[in-house]
Each structure stands twice: as C-alpha cells, then as structure tokens.
Amino acid sequence: MGIFGFFTKDKKESLDQGLQKSSENIFSKLSKAVVGKSKVDEEVLDELEEILITSDVGVDTTIKIIRRIEDRVAKDKYVNTTELDVILREEIMGLMEENKSADLSDFDLSADKKPYVIMVVGVNGVGKTTTIGKLAHQFKGAGKSVILGAADTFRAAAVDQLILWGDRVGVPVVSHGMNTDPASVAFDAVKQGVDTGADVVIVDTAGRLHTKVNLMNELTKIKRVMQKFIDDAPHEILLVLDGSTGQNAFIQAQEFTKATDITALAITKLDGTAKGGVVIGISDQFKIPVKYIGVGEKMTDLQVFNRKEFVDSLFKKK
C-alpha cells in the first residue's frame, strides 16, 4: 500500500472545501445555462463552452470536451439537461485518464529506488518551497527518512525558508548558503542520502534564471552531478504551478517543459481561486500527470491527486 493510505473522508472534505470557489463559480453558471431548457442543444453547448473557458480550462481542452459531449448527444439522440452534469463529469474524467492522470488514493515509492530522488522546479512565488516542506511532512509521517537539498541558491529567502521547513518537519537540510553552486548542493544532498540510506531526497532548484538556456544548463548540470551517485537520478522532476494564476500557469509549464523533462505536476493555491479548471487544461495540454494539488494552508492540505475525487468536488452540487 502507498504511504498516504486510502483517500479518507477528511481528505475529501478538505478537497471539497479547497475547490469550493471554483465549484460555486462553475455550478452557478451551469445552472443559469440550462434554466428553462429541457434538452442539451447547440445553445446550451455554446454556454458550456464559455463556462469552461472562463474557468481557465483553456480553449483547446474546452473544444475537446465540447466535441466529446456533442458525440454523446448525437449518439444518444436526446439528452436532457439534467443529464448534462453526469455527462460532463464522465467526459472530463475520460479525458484526464487519457492524459495520464489516474485515480490515485495513495502514492507509492518505487521499492527499488532508494533513495528516491525528486528534483523540484518552478518559478518564484508559486509555493515551490512550501510544497517541498509539506511533501517532506507527508513522507516523514509515513515513517520515511527524508533529506532536503537547498539548491535554490540565488535567493537568500529560498535557502532560509527551506531550512525553516526542515526544522519544522524535523528533517535534515543540506545547504551551502546563498550564491553557492546549486549543483554542489544537489551533489552533497544525494551523497548524504546514499550514505545514510535515506528513503527520499528532495532537491529545490532556482525559480528562474535569466534565460531559458541558463535554466536548461543549470538543471542539466544538477541532474548530471546527481547521477554520479545514482545512474537514473532524479527519479522524478516535479514542476510546481500556482493554480490561482490561471492561464499564466500554462505559460510557466511551457517554459519548464522546454527546459527539462518534467515528469509530474503539483498545482498549488487552488483554495484561494475560482480557477480550478486550470488543472484539467494543464493535464490535457502537456500530457504530464498531476500528482499533487494544494487545497489549503495546513501541511496535510497537500494532497495526492485523485482524478475521480477532483472532478466530483469541482462539479459538486451545492
């Protein structure tokens, strides 16, 4: 069984609460779109298209969803508006399944990867360092030994913040201070992970360098020094995005997917926004699995992403 256990009632309530603004925004608009209508027609679908786009699902992904619903309507000949909610959920879940986002109720560490090395990337201000701290808390709570690497050495605040998180969670942090070589920090963090038999090493990296070329070179160098100890490290490259920025999160994802091979996404700050639809669009456009979502301030509010539960909460009737 994975380290996070089953998707509990408490987690579901936290997810519902965290997506409340997004859910209320979508459901209120959807209710207005179908009022006085008995069947799903072109006008209803036009309204639905606008609702999804304004909820930051994105134009391309919205068109895919609308086409899937049109196919359902054509196949079933007659679809009444009370069925639209169910069909919408089913088609979005189907789309996310195709895009590698699964129904995770837990998160397994690969048994043959020890330490399991995670390199975390993302622009400044998205909640990257906080996400690392919360992730360390989750791992430690499951009995795993964790080491953090403070390789975002271009910002003093980033190094200090990660050290504070290490103290708070109770895990060691490898740090050389500000304006030091990020790759040397990553080197020492992975070395310490190997030497001590740690289960997980999580390495923070610079939020932004001056050009994409610099960013690519820096991340490539960090990966290369990790591989001096573990041939296939990092095992995961986690991109952290701020869900409250809506379409700007797409731009950030584009930048980082060009700079390095992103293997997983963490989308934060969903509790403070009505733009929860961005999770659907990013998953679809980049074909990268969403692994974590942030739905609150508490350390336990970083959740393993569950496609089914997410869609249920996003389109929850009030």
Q: What is the residue-averaged pLDDT of the chain? A: 86
Give me the sign of the Cα torsion angle 256, 258, 262, 267: positive
**Residue closest to 271 by CA, chosen among 252, 239, 293:** 293
Lowest mean pLDDT among 76-85, 95-104, 217-226, 228-237: 95-104
Q: Which residues partner with 147 through β-bridges?
A: 201
pTM of the model: 0.90
Residue with tokens 């050009």: 211
Where does the pLDDT of residue 317 fall: very low under 50, low under 70, confident under 90, or very high at 90 and above?
A: low
Distance CA 86, CA 75 (A): 16
Distance CA 88, CA 62 (A): 11
| C-alpha neighbours within 13 Å on the C-beta side of residue 27 | 17
Q: For the segment 261-287, what is each residue's pLDDT rounded down to a tens digit?
A: 999 999 999 887 778 889 999 989 998
Segment 97-112 shows an average pLDDT of: 64
Written as one letter, the residue type at 317 is K
Q: For the segment 172-196, what is each residue's pLDDT rounded down to a tens digit?
A: 999 999 999 999 999 999 999 999 9
Percent above pLDDT 70 for the chain: 92
Whole-number CA gyration radius for the chain: 21
Segment 38-61 shows an average pLDDT of: 89
